[in-house]
Amino acid sequence: MPSRLHFGEDDFLRCRFALSPLWETQEVARTLKRPDRHGYHVPWLRRVRTAADALDLTGLWLLMPRRGHSPDWLCPPPAGPAATFEEEIAAVRAADPDAAREDTARSLADTPGALDSPHGRAWLADPVRMIEELAGTLEQVWHTLVEPDWPRLRALLEADVAFHSRRLAEVGLGGLLPEINRRCGWRAGTLTVDSKGEHERHLGGQGLVLMPSAFAWPDVVSGFDPPWQPTLVYPARGIATLWSEPAADVSDALVRLLGRGRAAVLMALTDPATTTALAHRLALAPSSVSAHLTTLRDAGLLIARRYGHQVLYERTPLGMALASGGG
């Protein structure tokens, strides 16, 4: 059944992109529960299996029905374009207990037996304790499974935002939304999303948050209810190469021309990335990568674009030509 998001005149002016480490954290937990998602993350799963098995995710999984409602309070849309996990988990801990209880009860009702489970009974009887327990579980998942790979994940998500921001400038919002995912359709100011549940909302001047996700693959999520800002979570581009290591082979000619460090940085920029992401990808000091990026930019091989607090570097046509002959 489709979800429908109806745009008014003011909503077109209030659409924005955002990244959410908290969203990726909850989707990591959901992915561990769903074998049908495992194929997208096999190298990562092999690497984290022991650490993942040591986590108790039983309670969190109760609130992740395959079909049905997941509590919005547990992972609200990010307030800014690049919120930190610490900022987002603080917002979870600040949730109103009565509203969180009602939202949780709705989710538990979509899993047979969950309302009468030990977790369900305890949470509904003491929502303050529930908030703290679930926030603590999300923190464990973040620190154990997500934070070590966050530079790589963030680079993928930032590259997606950079690509779709350019497409937005080229084709407008009505042209972009159907491109974001094949399940999205646009007609007469209404975004239709082919999803598992039926959801209808008039944006009411709040606009729409567009949020790419690596671990939501292959799902599209659009069912946030008031008071949360309407949000569309969609699968990020580039997932096929997320866990692959960059090619180590750089031609001798490119190394002689640029030097080994600068050649490696140029070759690693298959998608736009920040200094931190490149340093993590290449196992180099951020200061060294920053110096290489400055030299490559001054030589006309890269350009830098600012998105919020992040600066993304990408190849110019000349840089692309050199890289294509330098692998």
Note the pLDDT tens digit of each residue in 264-305: 999 888 778 888 888 877 888 888 999 999 999 999 999 988
pTM above 0.75, yes or no: yes
Q: What is the pLDDT of residue 283?
A: 80
Single residue among 177, 207, 235 that ends a domain in this structure: 235
- Do 289 and 199 reside in the same domain of the chain? no
CA 156 to chain centre: 9
How many domains, in total, are found in the chain?
2
Q: What is the pLDDT of residue 325?
A: 67
Residue 240 within any structural domain of the chain? no
The answer, yes or no, to whether residue 320 has pLDDT greater than 70, is: yes
Instruction: Return the biggest CA–CA distance within the chain.
Output: 69
Write down the mean pLDDT value for the chain. Answer: 89
- Do 289 and 155 reside in the same domain of the chain? no
Can you list the alpha helix ranges (DSSP code H) found in the chain? Answer: 21-33, 42-53, 58-62, 85-93, 97-108, 118-125, 127-141, 150-180, 252-258, 260-268, 275-282, 286-298, 317-324
Q: Are 151 and 280 in contact (CB under 8 A)?
A: yes
- Percentage above 90 pLDDT, the chain: 47
- Percentage above 70 pLDDT, the chain: 95
Of residues 253, 285, 250, 256, the one with CA closest to residue 269 = 250
What digits encode the pLDDT tens for the residues 107-118?
A: 999 998 999 999
- Domain holding 288, by residue range, is 245-324
More confident residue, 307 or 209: 209
Residue 192 within any structural domain of the chain? yes
Q: Are 67 and 110 in contact (CB under 8 A)?
A: yes
The answer, yes or no, to whether residue 197 has pLDDT greater than 70, is: no
